[in-house]
Amino acid sequence: MSADAQLLDLAAGAFLLAAVAILWRRDVRAQTAWLSLQGAALAAIAVILGADQAHPELYAVAAAVGLLRAVVLPALVRRAVTARAEDRESAPLINVGASLLAAVALVLLAYAVAQPLVRLEATTAARALPVGLAVVLIGLLILVTRRKALSQIVGFLLLDNGITAIAFLAAAGVPILVEFGVSFDLLLAVLVLRVLTARMRAVFGGSDLDEMRELHD
Amino acid sequence: MIAALLVSLIQVLIVLLGAPLLVGAMRQLRAVMEGRVGGGVLQPWRDLLKLLRKAPQRPEGTGAAFRLAPLLGVACCAVAAAAIPLVSTRTGLGAAADLIAAVALLTLSTAALALAGLDTATAFGGMGASREMTITALAEPAILTAVFALAAKVGSTNLPAIVATTLGHGARLASPATLLAAVALGVVVLAETGRLPVDNPATHLELTMVHEAVVLEYSGPDLALIELGAAMRLTVLLGLWSSLFAPWGVATSAGPTRLLLALAVFAGKTLALGALIAAAEVFMAKLRLFRVPELLAGSFLLAVLAVTASFFLA
């Protein structure tokens, strides 16, 4: 295997490993550290694809993606964590051991479902495509099974990282304008969610979303 | 043929004689790091010789399970040491040196010890046996899946074949499948040998015991065999990990100079791994028992990722 293919495999592996680590850790601060690593792995995938397929605009996209997803967004989420212990996800809807086993099933599902896409091209990037789909499914799992608002934001960011990875691996990136538009939307979404979380904490004294399904006295 | 048998004999002897030295070195390193004087590297051997001189004592009501477990422990680890290519890939067991068989041998010794714990009919024995079997039952899928990930690349589960292939294609070690399998197998080795964060090897507090609770009723020569078996298990598992993921130094023939060099490298690698584990233990705390299934489920997930990576990414 060529050096580029091996590097791409390593970057895709680090990408998936970061998603698994986010599912495993309970502390939101540790999750943001792994999110930074995942953003760096995503930027690395873009750089390797740009070098491999001689698309120089992928370098600019990689720089923008790296800045946003490895630096800005994890910093925003970490700033939203206050010193109070209630931001540590203590009671997910399914416990961590069961969610790890569910992640096993999701990874296998992603590989099974993405086979028609993989068969379209015989490149390393196409073979690494199921990794992006697996991260999307793991992000959905986190979004659905965690109670605290900040954990759900982390799941949402994971979901978006996975979608971007699929875009890079399947089509060697999207046009630079679309990438900037999507990144700006994502930044806005995280900022709004942060303000919402702070408001929820100030008014209700906690951000456990399961408690907010109905009117209380 | 004779050379291969000699290689196996050398491997069994070095594991038998060197295992207490490894445990002594790990304990001495921990003592030095914690600011204590420590008993010295030869202390486990002194303990073993002292225990062998004592009169054998068995609790009333125990039967064959209690009597046979220490012997089975040492025997299984000795056979595993003969099979695994620790020093050279030309071991005496040849085609019978299967990775799944080696894993099964080590599990057999765990099961024998758990049965012995149940045989004593004490509360500690039963509690320790049930905890030990929970940990083993969760570690088995992880170890077998990691084995599968390694065997899928080579096309067979024959240990000398796997080690020889890894020696030949060194670049394979940097692939995601091998790295993930290394981490998964590392966590399983910590669980199977009863080291932190799964079980504290130095504890005497009942609530935190797993391995110690099972062997609480042993004394005299039986206890000496149990401790020797535990030390041999640690050496064999560390040797297995280093043969699979850091095989440099393993001889591919049976020439005497190559064997001597390979012996020295094996001793160095095992001591280095043991020192790493001992140093990390100084800074770690034991996981609460209900968190251990989480750790092992995570290691199972990493092993499954290794298998998917080896099938789909290569």
* pLDDT, tens digit (0-9, with 9 covering 90-100), for A154-194: 999 999 999 989 988 887 667 777 777 888 888 888 888 88
Return all residues near A148 (Cβ < 8 A) that are at least 6 apart: A28, A86, A87, A89, A207, A208, A209
Do B97 and B108 meet the contact criterion of CB atoms below 8 Å apart?
no
Q: How far is B298 from chain A (nearest CA, A)?
A: 6
Q: How far is A10 from chain B (nearest CA, A)?
A: 6
**Residues facing A148 on adjacent strands:** A208
CB contact under 8 A, A96 and B294: yes
Q: How far is A131 from chain B (nearest CA, A)?
A: 9
ipTM of the complex: 0.77
Q: Nearest residue on chain B to A115, judged by CA atoms? A: B312
User: Is A1 an interface residue toward B (CB < 8 Å)?
Assistant: yes
Cα within 13 Å of Cα(B49), Cβ side: 5
Residues of A in contact with B171 (CB under 8 A): 1, 6
Average pLDDT of the segment spanning B282-301: 88
The pLDDT of residue A38 is 95
The pLDDT of residue B108 is 94
More reliable by pLDDT, B173 or B160: B160
Do A87 and A28 meet the contact criterion of CB atoms below 8 Å apart?
yes
DSSP assignment string, B191-247: HHTT-TTT--TT---GGG-SHHHHTTT--HHHHHHHHHHHHHHHHHHHHHHHHHH--
pTM of the model: 0.85
The pLDDT of residue A118 is 85
Instruction: For B218-263, write each residue's pLDDT tens digit.
Output: 999 999 999 999 999 999 999 999 998 888 888 887 778 888 999 9
Q: How far is A63 from chain B (nearest CA, A)?
A: 25
Instruction: For B65-115, write each residue's pLDDT tens digit.
Output: 999 999 999 999 999 999 999 988 888 787 788 888 899 999 999 999 999
Taking a contact as any Cβ pair under 8 Å apart, which residues of chain A between 99 and 158 contact chain B?
100-101, 103-104, 107-108, 111, 118, 124, 127-128, 130
The pLDDT of residue B92 is 78
The pLDDT of residue A96 is 86
Residues of B in contact with A96 (CB under 8 A): 294, 297
SS3 B282: helix
Query: At residue B14, does pLDDT exceed 90?
Result: yes
CB contact under 8 A, A100 and B297: yes
The pLDDT of residue B16 is 95
CB contact under 8 A, B174 and A107: no
Q: Nearest residue on chain A to B295, judged by CA atoms? A: A97
User: Is B297 an interface residue toward A (CB < 8 Å)?
Assistant: yes
Q: Nearest residue on chain B to A18, judged by CA atoms? A: B302
User: Is B19 an interface residue toward A (CB < 8 Å)?
Assistant: no
